[in-house]
Every structure is written in structure tokens, then in C-alpha cells.
Chain A
Amino acid sequence: MATVNEAPRFQEDAEGMRGEEMILNMGPQHPSTHGVLRLVMNMEGETITRCTPVIGYLHRGMEKVLENRPYMGGIRYVDNSEYLSPMICETAYAGAVEQLMGISPPRRAQYIRLIVNEMQRIASHLVAVGTYLLDLGAFTPILYAFRDREGILELFEEVAGSRFTVNYMRVGGVLHDLPVGWLQRLETWLDTFEKNWHELDVLITGNEIFMTRTQGVGYIDPQEAVAFSLTGPILRASGVNWDLRVQRPYDAYREIAVRPVVREEGDCFARYMVRMYEMLESVRLIREAMAGLPGGPINTRTPIALRPPRGETYFAVEGSKGEYGIYLVSDGSEYPWRAKIRGASFSNLFILPELLRGNKMADVVAILGSIDLVLGEVDR
């Protein structure tokens, strides 16, 4: 959380007139920053000449915490890094430990992981789309989005005991098997959601104001996106077909093929569209996994006190915001020697200075919302 102390600079324009450069602070308490992000913007009139993101307001020393917790105990802490998709974070952490120990969860556990991960992806994208439209001035979509998300959270509560910080994954599988009747309720929810998705689509996509504010705004070209380590829907909206579920499949994604959603435009509208169609794709994946859900154990009966062998590994999953990776170093004891969280939002955030330069103030919210940050993952 470095402070930015800069005196206003004076610039001369072509006619030799001097205009004072204004510094505008956006955040850390601003509704459209989705958390505690501060943007320090140097303005030349309405135009942004320089933008400096200031982060760290939510820093909790999570990596140090993980070093001081047993491997099983760390699973609950990674929930809070990307707090809009805790299931995916847990899958990454548990998967990293499994990779280190050389074990693999039973097939049923892998399928359950896929189902809850895709549900989580829908929930996260619903928040992204709903709040994005709220930022742009449309109030209704967030109500539609949160209504549907509520169904997912209720299903999570049934299966894991809590709605947000689920603590559901375990090294070698999952905590509980699915409750009786849960799959039927999920099926019902999916049917409802597909109808609601079309409702949301009709409501937003094609709206003239929305299209005008997002089409052609915040363009990222593919080379730039890769160079700035962008991952997830932002990268795919720039025309780069890179989805870890497809390119480097893990768990049940080895058996269930994902159709990646890729768009070429690279603007805010493309990012929105990628998120919308990824929700449909997730519904299809959940249905496929439910149809092929195998029986058998849900856990490898791994002991609570784990001692993975000495070594290191890196395991990344495709989170809802992008690549969510865990780098683990084990010294042979019960505690990780080092646990590094690679958060997608952290890298995605730092495209902003490039993206905002030369844009108008009015587009800041449109661009910021389309990147879909989670500050818990940025600050960790």
C-alpha cells in the first residue's frame, strides 16, 4: 500500500497554454471498485494521463498464515483469498497438496468437484455481470443475478454447511457426499436458471445504452493481454484461446470436454459476453457431470496430519477470474515451507494503467467493472 505523493505537474499544450494537471482519487471507498481499491488518476481535463492503482488495504498476510497451518488447515484460509469463488480456491489448494503427495481423488470426488466448481463459476459470473450493470447505471440486473445466485448458495449450504467459506474440499477428495435429493434440487435450479439466463440476456444484451458504453471501450489486443499475464475471461475476450480446463485439464475435466468461449473483439462488451456464455457452458458441464456421476468413495481417507514428501510443485486451476495457482514447497513436515497464491485478479488489475491512459473519466467505471476484480485475491 504505497502512497502516492506527487505535486501537480504543469503541462504545456500545443499553443503554449499551461493547464494544471488534476489528481483525482477514486476509492478506496467507492462503490464501483468492488472492495477497497484506490486509483490515483492524473487528469488533463476529462482525459486520464496516468493511473496508479494503490492496493493492500485488504492484505492479511495469507501466505504467512498458510505457512503456519497444517496442510488440511490451510484449505479453509484460501477461501478468503478469492472470496467470490471459494470452491475453486479450495480445489486448487487441495489439488496442489495431492500433486505433491502423488495421490489422486476418487472419480466420484472429482465429479463432485467439477459440479461445485462450475456452480461457483456461475455464481461468480452472476456477481460480475450484475454489479457491472449496476456500475453502469442499470439497477435491475443485479436483482436478477443475485436471485439466481441465491439458489447456488443454498445448495452449497446443504452440501457443505455454509454459504461462502465452504471448507468443503479435502486433500484426497471432498468432505461430505451429496445429500439425498440434492441432485434433483440442482436439476430444478438448472432448469430455472436457463430460463432466467435468457431473461437476463434479453434484458442486457442489445440494450442500446449498454452497447454504446461498452463496445469499443477498453480494447486489449491479444499480444498485450498475454504480455501482461492476463488470464481468464479477459484473455479469452481478446481472442486468445487459453483455458486451463481445456489446455491443461485436471480432475474430471480430463473426461468432460469444455468448449471454451472465445471472442475476438477484446473490448468491455466482449468480456461481458464471454462471462454470459461461460455460464451456459457451465450449465452444460454440470448436466454432463450429473449424468455421468460415478459411485464409490468420495475421499481417499487421507489422515488429518499430512506429511507430504520434500519437494515443490505448482498447481493451477481455471478460476472464475483466471488462473488460480498454488505454489507449494514442502520440507517434509506438517506445515508447508512456502505456499504462494497466484491470484488472477492481481495480474489482471495491473493492465489498468495501460488501459485507462487516454480514456475519459466516464469510461473508468465501465473498464474497471469489465475486468471483474476481487480485492481479496489482489491483496491476499
Chain B
Amino acid sequence: MALEPVQGDFPLPPAPLAHDNAQPASQGRELLALLATMARDIGYPSAIRMLPGGFPASDVPAAALVATSRYLHDQLGFHLLSSIAGLDMLDYRQVVYHLNNLEHRWLLEMKVRVPESNEIDSVIGVWSGADPLERETYDLFGIVFAGHPDLRRILLDDEFEGFPLLKSFRQTPLAVHDHATTQVPPEQAIVGAEQRGVGAQRITPSHLSQVAIEHLHPGVSTFGDDQFHGHEFPPITWKHRPEYRGTGDNMYNGEEAPTPNTENK
């Protein structure tokens, strides 16, 4: 290690690049041909779509995930894994990988449909950077990555129940504990029914998109008077919504919310 101080005389940044911004169309075609060859080599029907933004997306069967990843990394030079995203399509789940080829500046989307077992192979062996990304996908979607050495929650608490980015996840507070925190003296703590009452008042219903409403609540018209789930006006709290009444999985089971207990104040 050089200990001599270096006096501000550093090489300047490299000269400007020849700015060839217009990507030659032949490059894109070349990538499409390579992807078709890859699918034939590994042995599955090649399904390649062009996405808005002009980059291809390849649908890969879950059984061929690791083989395809290995091929993409080793043969086609997709060394940089940008992101791994889970995707809940209600009937099934998908995992989406975004890959970069640094040499040819290619961007590729690889999409895998998660089978019924809710388990796909981990690609850590191919891209080391997949480790936290797969943990995150497991944390938020519950998709299990077989072969991941350390698959546990990363963003949420260990005690958290459910997978919040699934569409079936209730967007109402799940964890309203009866005990107070240790940050306030016990006589000042808001506990029990009062806390639940206060919490329930603060909650507003989430707006599902129209397609989601039609999907989750078939038969509900999304236009006209029925646009707020059959209410004439937006329901004030989630417990007024008919689908939460008496289903057994809400907090009050259709009963009235307990009145706030003000004795402790």
C-alpha cells in the first residue's frame, strides 16, 4: 500500500464514446435467434415475446430454469442479474428475472411459471447476487426456492404471518396485539379492545383494480351504483364491506365494534 500522499493529479475520465445510440436492429434479431437456438438445445418450446421498450421476454418452464440460466450465463453472456420479481396472477404465480449482457447491452426478461408445489429451483449457483433477491421473493410471495442455503424472511419479522404481496392478502391490520409495548408505562398503555377499536376506525378499504374486483368478486358490477362493492358511497371502514361480514376470519365476526374504553385515560 502506497503511503505517499498523492496530490490531486489523477487521470481524467476516458474520452467521450462514439455515441452510437441507435441500436442496430440486427443485434436484436441476433439475440432472438440465439434464444430460439437455446430453447432448442435445452429442449422446450421457445416462447419469446417482445415487450414495450423493445426487449425480449422468454417464457421458461420451471423444470428447465437452472439449465436455461446456466446457458444464458455461460453461452450468451448474461452475467448481470438485475432483479427478481414475484408476480401473483391469482390462478398461478410467476417469477420474473431481468438479465443484462454487458458486452452487447442486451436486456432480457426470463419468466417462469411456478408449479403447483409452489417451489422452483434457486439460481444462486449461476448468479451469486440472486441470494437476497430470492429471499425477498420468498418473503413477500411465499415462493420457495429449492437449493437456497438460507431461505428465511428478509424484510418482515420472523413472526409475520402471510405473504403480503399476494392478492389474497388482507390489506387490514393483522397483528393487533393485546399487550402494550414496553415503551410506555402500563398505566398509560392503550390495550385490548380500545386499541382494536381505534385501529379499526383508522383503516380505509383498499381500492382493488377493476379487473381484480371482477376476478375476486365475480358477479359484482364495477360500474354505476355498484361501483363501490354494492354500496352507494365508498364504505367508511373495511368491516362494513359485506364480504368481511360473518365470514369468520375477521376480527369481530360481524358484531359491532367494541366502543373505545376511555376509563384508562
Q: Do A and B bind each other?
A: yes
A259 near B15 with CB under 8 A, answer: yes
| Cross-interface CB contact of A314 among B10, B51, B81, cutoff 8 Å | B51
Q: How large is the interface on B (under 10, 10 to 19, 20 to 34, 35 or more residues)?
A: 35 or more
Which of A55-63, A74-82, A158-166, A185-193 touches B?
A55-63
Which residues in A have their C-beta under 8 angstroms from that of B39?
Answer: none
Interface string of B127-156 (1 = CB under 8 A from A): 111111100100010000000000011111
Which residues in A have their C-beta under 8 angstroms from that of B7?
Answer: 206
Output the least CB separation between A52 and chain B (Å).
9
A329 near B129 with CB under 8 A, answer: no
Chain A residues with a Cβ under 8 A of chain B? 1-3, 55-56, 59, 61, 63-64, 68, 99-100, 102, 201-202, 205-208, 211-212, 215-216, 224, 226-231, 240, 242, 246-249, 254, 257, 259-262, 273, 277, 281, 311-316, 323, 325, 327, 329, 331-335, 337-338, 340, 342, 346-347, 349-350, 379-380
Report which residue of B15, B19, B209 has the largest number of chain A beta carbons within 10 angstroms of its beta carbon.
Answer: B209
Q: Which of B1-60 contact A (CB under 8 A)?
A: 1-3, 5-8, 10, 13-17, 19, 21, 51-53, 55, 57
B80 near A350 with CB under 8 A, answer: no
> Known interface pairs A59-B156, A257-B16, A334-B209. Does A340 touch B85 (Cβ–Cβ under 8 Å)?
yes
Which residues in B have their C-beta under 8 angstroms from that of A230?
Answer: 129
Extra contacts, 19 of them, besides A259-B16, A347-B132 (Cβ < 8 A), are A55-B154, A59-B155, A64-B164, A202-B8, A205-B8, A229-B130, A229-B133, A242-B100, A257-B16, A257-B17, A261-B13, A311-B51, A323-B82, A334-B210, A340-B83, A340-B85, A347-B133, A350-B129, A350-B131
Of all chain B residues, the one with the shortest Cβ separation from A347 is B129
Output the least CB separation between A279 and chain B (Å).
12
Q: Which of B104-122 contact A (CB under 8 A)?
A: 105, 107, 109
> Known interface pairs A63-B165, A254-B21. Does A229 touch B87 (Cβ–Cβ under 8 Å)?
no
B132 near A346 with CB under 8 A, answer: yes
A1 near B153 with CB under 8 A, answer: yes
Which residues in A have their C-beta under 8 angstroms from that of B209?
Answer: 331, 333-335, 337
